[in-house]
């Protein structure tokens, strides 16, 4: 089957991330591109974003409410269909069986052909950044939910009892790790990426330099791949 034929069979995609704004930083251009091609995109947010502020006057409940709304609006800018919140406390996320089951429930509910998730390991290729532990936990739990849990009938029988039938995800796009092997051309959607990130006003501010920085980063990722702006992933095709 050619790449184009394979692409034509992709009807639904899901992006599973730890925090509000993670999906936009890593994959907004790709999400907007897929949505514009008619692919339904669903979001799953693992945490409530309750630690994402250094302002001593912001209460956690207000921050949760604010970031939830920001995430819903950001997803809307990109053309996503739905945002689900699992509401685990921010900064304390672990790959527990409970988290794996909750992500499995989402996969069985929306039945995505393709899932975007975060890298489940620390990157040693970037000396200016330490991966947030919530990202590792969200990535690892999502990969485990895809294989084998969502597929296997007898795992978490309570899901089956609730009517969530097994489902096989066919493609996984891992963002933010080393060893990318797939570059998505986001030249047509990079402005939507910036616009979606701007919706996370509690996190990114509104300076013009911010837009420049996002575009510069996307241009760097695109270097050597015949594109102006790109996002990069490690892709698994599970057949």
Residues that bind Zn ion in the complex, under the rule CB under 5 A: 19, 22, 132
Q: How far is the CB of 90 from Zn ion (least distance, A)?
A: 9
Q: How far is the CB of 52 from Zn ion (least distance, A)?
A: 8
Instruction: Tell me whether residue 158 is exposed, middle or buried, using C-beta atoms within 10 angstroms of its C-beta: 0 to 12, 13 to 18, 19 or more.
Output: exposed
For helices 22-36 and 60-78, the axis angle rounded to 10 degrees is 30
Q: How far is the CB of 3 from Zn ion (least distance, A)?
A: 31
| Residue number with the smallest Cβ distance to Zn ion | 19
Q: State which residue, 24 or 185, has the beta carbon closest to Zn ion.
A: 24
Residues 228-231: contacts with CB within 8 Å, 24+ apart?
228/185, 228/187, 229/29, 229/185, 229/186, 229/187, 229/190, 230/29, 230/183, 230/184, 230/185, 230/186, 231/26, 231/27, 231/29, 231/30, 231/175, 231/183, 231/184, 231/186
Nearest to 28 by CA among 156, 148, 199, 206: 199
Q: State which residue, 149 or 203, has the beta carbon closest to Zn ion.
A: 203
* Number of Cβ within a 10 Å radius of residue 95: 19
Q: State which residue, 102 or 134, has the beta carbon closest to Zn ion.
A: 134
Q: How far is the CB of 19 from Zn ion (least distance, A)?
A: 4
Q: How far is the CB of 44 from Zn ion (least distance, A)?
A: 14
Q: State which residue, 132 or 170, has the beta carbon closest to Zn ion.
A: 132
Q: State which residue, 131 or 149, has the beta carbon closest to Zn ion.
A: 131
Q: State which residue, 122 or 167, has the beta carbon closest to Zn ion.
A: 122
Enumerate the β-bridge partners of residue 88. Answer: 47
Residue 112 is classified by DSSP as -
Tokens 């501010």 correspond to what residue? 205
Q: How far is the CB of 22 from Zn ion (least distance, A)?
A: 4
């Amino acid at each position: 089957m050619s790449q184009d034929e394979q692409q034509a069979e992709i009807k639904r995609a899901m992006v599973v991330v730890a925090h509000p704004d993670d999906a936009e930083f890593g994959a907004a251009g790709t999400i907007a591109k897929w949505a514009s091609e008619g692919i339904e995109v669903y979001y799953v947010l693992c945490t409530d974003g309750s630690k994402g502020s250094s302002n001593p006057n912001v209460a956690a409940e207000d921050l949760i409410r604010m970031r939830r709304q920001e995430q819903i609006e950001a997803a809307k800018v990109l053309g996503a269909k739905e945002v689900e919140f699992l509401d685990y406390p921010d900064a304390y996320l672990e790959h527990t069986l409970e988290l794996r089951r909750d992500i499995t429930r989402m996969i069985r509910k929306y039945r995505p052909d393709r899932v975007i998730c975060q890298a489940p390991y620390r990157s040693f290729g970037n000396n200016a950044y330490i991966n947030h532990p919530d990202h590792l936990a969200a990535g690892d739990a999502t990969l485990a939910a895809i294989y084998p849990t969502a597929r296997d009938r007898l795992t978490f029988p309570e899901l089956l009892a609730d009517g969530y039938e097994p489902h096989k995800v066919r493609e996984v796009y891992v963002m933010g790790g080393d060893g990318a092997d797939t570059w998505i051309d986001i030249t047509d959607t990079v402005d939507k990426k910036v616009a979606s990130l701007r919706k996370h006003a509690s996190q990114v501010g509104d300076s013009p330099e911010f837009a420049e920085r996002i575009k510069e980063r996307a241009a760097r990722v695109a270097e050597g791949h015949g594109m102006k702006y790109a996002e990069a992933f490690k892709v698994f095709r599970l057949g």
